[in-house]
Amino acid sequence: MPPCMRTPGTSPRTPAATLLAAGVAACLTLSAVAAAGQPQTAQPVEPELAPAGLPESAAAPEPTPRLPDGTPNLGRVAGEKGVWRVPYITNMAARAIGPDGEPLAPPETPASSRGARGGSAAEPHVPFMPWSAALYDYNSENLSKYDPEGYCLPPGGPRMMATPYPMEIIQLPEQERIIMIFEGATHIWREIYMDGRPHPEGDALNPTFLGHSVGRWEGDTLVVDVVGFNETTWIDFFGHPHTDQLHVIERFSRPDKNTLRYEATIDDPGAYTEPWTFGWDIPWTPDGELMEYICQDNNLYLYHLTDDFGQPIFGNR
């Protein structure tokens, strides 16, 4: 299900009571929609455009900020606020790109980005195996009713970069690691090791929601190699499955101060016949700060869920 969220762009100074009322109203709306069996709607967050009427020079974005050693700064500049405003990407296949970076899927329409489903047959560019296609078709048919994120479990993997809550990237070069903090997605954090260590092997690689991440710089691009995922998560809200063989290569770059470019390659020989890649841009909110968000609080959606036989999943039968 789409996460119950505060409205994107809400000021951190909005009174708590207003935020709570808005959150409960959003949850109730989603619950009613889900209970009616209708596609759920959520408008993807789009980058803000430059104000109309400004001269071209005034609208030009600021250059990429850098650390003292010249490495791109993927987070805040000292003395400033700011967060990355992660967009709501419901279907990674709709953002699939080829080796040349060109889109492989038809352009998204408001309907396709908000919930229209066609299953695996509508995504010939995704290299499904028969079983993963069948499971994806099942998730499409029931409108993602069993989405793990709807139960307040962490999104995991690239879906962290497609769950619409603010996030921060904190670089600690003296400690040779990078920390990512997410407001939503169960208020989770992620650690990327930059000290050249390999992934653990065998029993030492304990499968987790976020996997084990090691990173390196390739020019101005942060390349993150991730393995060790458990099978509790979905790749996206639409329900693309994966196995514990999932290997993700992520690429982060900041072409200007206001843009974080994100790409991820899915390499899962247990679910797909070959790797496939998707990507999108994430806009910067210069006055943003992270707020507390507790997914489990007032998650009314759970009490409206029924199984395939019409029985409630939670509560009395």
Q: What percent of the chain has pLDDT over 90?
A: 66
Output the DSSP codes for 101-141: S-B-SPPP-HHHHHT----GGG-TTS-B-HHHHHHHHHHHH
Longest CA pairwise span in the chain (Å): 64
pLDDT tens digits along 127-138:
999 999 999 999
Full-model pTM = 0.79
Give the best-scoring range by mean pLDDT among 14-23, 36-45, 107-116, 221-230: 221-230
Q: Residue 56's pLDDT band (boundaries 50, 70, 90)? A: very low
Torsion sign, CA atoms 225, 212, 279, 117: positive
Q: In this structure, are residues 92 and 272 in contact, taking their beta carbons and an 8 Å threshold? A: no
Long-range contacts of 74-77 (CB under 8 A, 24+ apart): 74/169, 74/171, 74/178, 74/222, 74/252, 74/254, 74/260, 75/168, 75/169, 75/170, 75/171, 76/168
First to last CA, the chain: 22
Phi, psi of 171 (to 5 degrees): -95, 130
Structure tokens at 46: 């789009």
Which residues, in sequence order, are bridge partners of residue 177?
172, 193
pLDDT tens digits along 75-106:
999 999 999 999 999 999 999 999 999 999 88
Residue 283 C-alpha from the chain's centroid? 14
pLDDT tens digits along 231-243:
999 999 999 999 9
Q: Is the pLDDT of residue 28 over 50?
A: no
pLDDT tens digits along 140-194:
999 999 999 988 999 989 999 999 999 999 999 999 999 999 998 778 899 999 9
Cα(173)–Cα(196) distance, rounded to whole angstroms?
Answer: 13
Cα(152)–Cα(219) distance, rounded to whole angstroms?
Answer: 37
Q: What is the mean pLDDT of the chain?
A: 83
